[in-house]
Amino acid sequence: MRIFLVAGEPSGDRLGAALMEGLRTLAPDIRFSGVAGPLMKAQGMGSLFPMDELTVMGIAEVLPKYFHLKRRIREVAEAVIESDAKALVTIDSPDFGLRVAALVKAAKPAIRTIHYVAPSVWAWRPGRAAKMARHVDHVLALLPFEPPYMTAAGMSCDFVGHPVVAEPLANAAERAVFEGDGPLILALPGSRRGEVARLAPVLGEVMGRLAARHPGLRVVLPTVPGVAGLVRDAVADWPVTPRIVEEAGLKRGAFAAADVAIAASGTVSLELAAVGCPMVIAYDMHPVTLWLMRRAALIDTVTLVNLVSETRVVPEFIGERCRADLIAPAVEAVLAEPDGQREAMRVTMERLGRGGEPPGLRAARSVLSVL
């Protein structure tokens, strides 16, 4: 049996790799095709083209690549239709994946269409669920409160747990690499080129302000290969030279050893919560994208720890508030009271499935149940 998988960014690549591992555990003869990142490739899957081409976020940012992305949508849909795949699993990246699913469902209705990561209709654009239900049969949800939104629109949906609860934690040796005098700050400007370009200058100014008050300040900047070169250029003039790390063990050690993190909004807040690292969220985007999203927003926080724990303990600095003079005092406040966020983090991990069956295996069971 063949399943066609389409991932569009690093987070989707991680989900896809865990799903592939789970499917192979339950159905050893299964085969895969599609669009893959490095982790899915490591599971033995080829890719129609480099996944990095799809790692674009924001309305204004997508426009210059619009026609190229449309060609890729058609190319992927045609490959699914011509294959012997029993199911198409689109992973995150809904603007790309769901367009592929629509073309596939229209041409070959027998193929089961599954979307991994429920769209955040509880946050903005609630009508997306009904639109999605026209060409998606089943949804795999990462957050426990999402299935009712999907089933109400006419799709089946399973909460399969969030992959962050199954990721390995740092061992003593990995953590010891970052032990030292002075506060250790994690700088996390995002995994997309646009995020890094916007956030790196702000974070650099924050580090300068903090270093003036904490002479022993140390900064670690975990990053991913796709933006590592851009990151190095962006931090070249920072007043505190960060240690840039790409290797997984070093990243785990840095997350576990850090006193506080300044992070872009997104899944990274859950990765920090998994190791109990207090955080401040800072995020900026193109003004047009920001204006449109604010008009459509249904929630008062973008941080998943705040949402899942039903608290508002993680401070946020979004858009015009993404300024060093606001962020630096918040970081100092967290350094002074590091335990203020820890109960919310514990609740978050429990609700996301920590202690249960690995999410990749749960997701695999859900996919096979649809087939």
pLDDT at 198 over 80: yes
φ and ψ at 270, to 5 degrees? Answer: -75, -35
User: 347 burial class (0-12, 13-18, 19+ CB within 10 angstroms)?
Assistant: middle
pLDDT at 11 over 90: no
The pLDDT value recorded for residue 193 is: 87
- How does pLDDT run across 144-189, given as a tens digit for each residue? 999 999 999 999 999 999 999 998 999 999 999 998 889 999 999 9
pTM: 0.83
DSSP H helices in the chain: 10-26, 38-42, 59-62, 66-82, 94-107, 128-132, 147-152, 172-176, 193-213, 225-234, 248-257, 268-274, 287-296, 304-309, 324-336, 342-351, 359-370
Architecture per CATH, domain 172-351, reads as 3-Layer(aba) Sandwich (3.40)
Q: Which CATH class is domain 2-161+356-370?
A: alpha beta
The pLDDT value recorded for residue 350 is: 96
Round the average pLDDT of the chain to a whole number and report it: 92
- Taking residues 200-204, what's their average pLDDT? 96
The pLDDT value recorded for residue 278 is: 97
pLDDT at 319 over 70: yes
Domain locations along the chain:
2-161+356-370, 172-351
Does the fold of domain 172-351 match that of domain 2-161+356-370? yes
Report the alpha-carbon distance of residue 352 to residue 276 in Å, rounded. 15
Q: Which of 270, 250, 272 is nearest to 261 (CA)?
A: 272
- How does pLDDT run across 288-318, given as a tens digit for each residue? 877 877 776 778 888 999 999 999 999 999 9
